[in-house]
A and B are shown apart, each in its own frame.
Chain A
Amino acid sequence: EIVLTQSPGTLSLSPGERATLSCRASQSVSSSYLAWYQQKPGQAPRLLIYGASNRATGIPDRFSGSGSGTDFTLTISRLEPEDFAVYYCQQYGSSHSFTFGPGTKVDIK
Chain B
Amino acid sequence: EVQLVESGGGLVQPGGSLRLSCAASGFTFSNYWMSWVRQAPGKGLEWVANIKQDGSEESYVDSVKGRFTISRDNAKNSLYLQMNSLRAEDTAVYYCARERGLRYFENWGQGTLVTVSS
Name B49-95 residues within 8 Å CB distance of A: 50, 57, 59, 61, 95
Query: With A44-B108, A44-B111, A45-B108 as given contacts, are A88 and B102 in contact (CB-CB < 8 Å)?
Result: no
Residues of B within 8 A of A45 (CB): 45, 95, 105, 108
Using a CB–CB distance below 8 Å, which chain A residues touch chain B? 32-33, 35, 37, 39, 43-47, 50-51, 56, 88, 90, 92, 95-103
Q: Does B110 contact A (CB under 8 A)?
A: yes
Are A92 and B104 in contact, CB atoms less than 8 angstroms apart? yes
Does the CB pair A96–B111 fall under 8 Å?
no
Contact yes or no, B103 A32, CB < 8 A: yes
B59 surroundings in chain A (CB, below 8 A): 95-97
Prevailing SS type, chain B contact patch: strand
Residue of A nearest to B106 (CB): A47
B61 contacts across to A, CB distance below 8 A: 97
Nearest opposing residue in chain A for B45, CB measure = A100
Question: For the complex, is B26 an interface residue (Cβ under 8 Å from A)?
Answer: no
- Give the B interface residue count (CB, 8 A): 23
Instruction: Give chain A nearest CB distance to B101 CB in angstroms.
Output: 9
- Residues of chain A within 8 A of B44, CB atoms compared: 88, 100-103
| Chain A residues whose CB sits within 8 angstroms of the CB of B110 once the complex forms | 43-44
- Checking B37, B57, B95, B109 against A96 with a beta-carbon cut-off of 8 angstroms, the contacting residue is B57
A50 and B103 contact, Cβ closer than 8 Å, known pairs A98-B35, A98-B47, A100-B45: yes
A32: chain B residues at CB < 8 Å are 103
Residue on B nearest A50 in the bound complex, by CB? B104
The A-contacting residues of B in range 20-37, CB under 8 angstroms, are 33, 35, 37
B102 / chain A contacts, CB cutoff of 8 Å = 92, 96
Residues from chain A with a CB closer than 8 A to the CB of B107 are: 47
Given contacts A88-B44, A102-B44, contact A96 B104 (CB under 8 A): no
A51-B102 Cα distance, complex, nearest whole Å: 12
Q: In the complex, what's the smallest C-beta–C-beta distance from A69 to chain B, in angstroms? A: 17
Separation of A19 and B79 alpha carbons in the complex (Å): 37
Question: Shortest Cβ distance from A54 into chain B, in angstroms?
Answer: 10
